[in-house]
Amino acid sequence: MIDFGYVRVSSKDQNEERQRIQLELQGISELNTYIDKQSGKDFDRPQYKEMVKHMHTGDCLWITSIDRLGRNYEEIQEQWRYLTKEKRIDIVVLDMPLLDTRKGKDRFGIADTLLRGRDGAQEYQTASGGRDFSGKIEGRQTWKAIWAYAREF
């Protein structure tokens, strides 16, 4: 099993050091850390593609935040399924422990339920023992609400 790190910043003038250090602190080798300096609008990124080519069943992808993987929710879902179901790798999202597939392969399904709106949040709240879930479930507020909830785990 190999641990891979993926770092993405949106432009060449942004500094990726903070993400790289967070991955190093988790024991991710610099040799297995791939860095793209471009938009996350899609997955047409050279280092991301190269990393995925090297990944095999049992490997683990570490990212500091889900938005470092991408910006397009549908494409993130598609990649998540591809990586976890087809390539059979694990994914660890450092700032969102709820999305650690080492604890269960369908962890993104929980976030998906929350993203579907207030009904989804209430459905999850009921399933999680009635814990209070507060946060707006629309637009950019969505990820913040999920992160706030996920940090409790």
Q: Report the catalytic residues.
A: 10
Supply 82's token pair. Answer: 């591809």
Q: In terms of Cα–Cα distance, which of 132, 131, 87 is closest to 105? A: 87
- C-alpha distance across the termini of the chain, in Å: 25
Q: In terms of Cα–Cα distance, which of 7, 47, 1 is closest to 24? A: 7
Q: Count the helix, strand and coil residues of the chain and give each as a percent rounded to the nearest 5.
A: 50, 15, 40
Supply 149's token pair. Answer: 């909830």
CA 51 to chain centre: 15
| CA dist., res. 61 & res. 80, Å (int) | 11
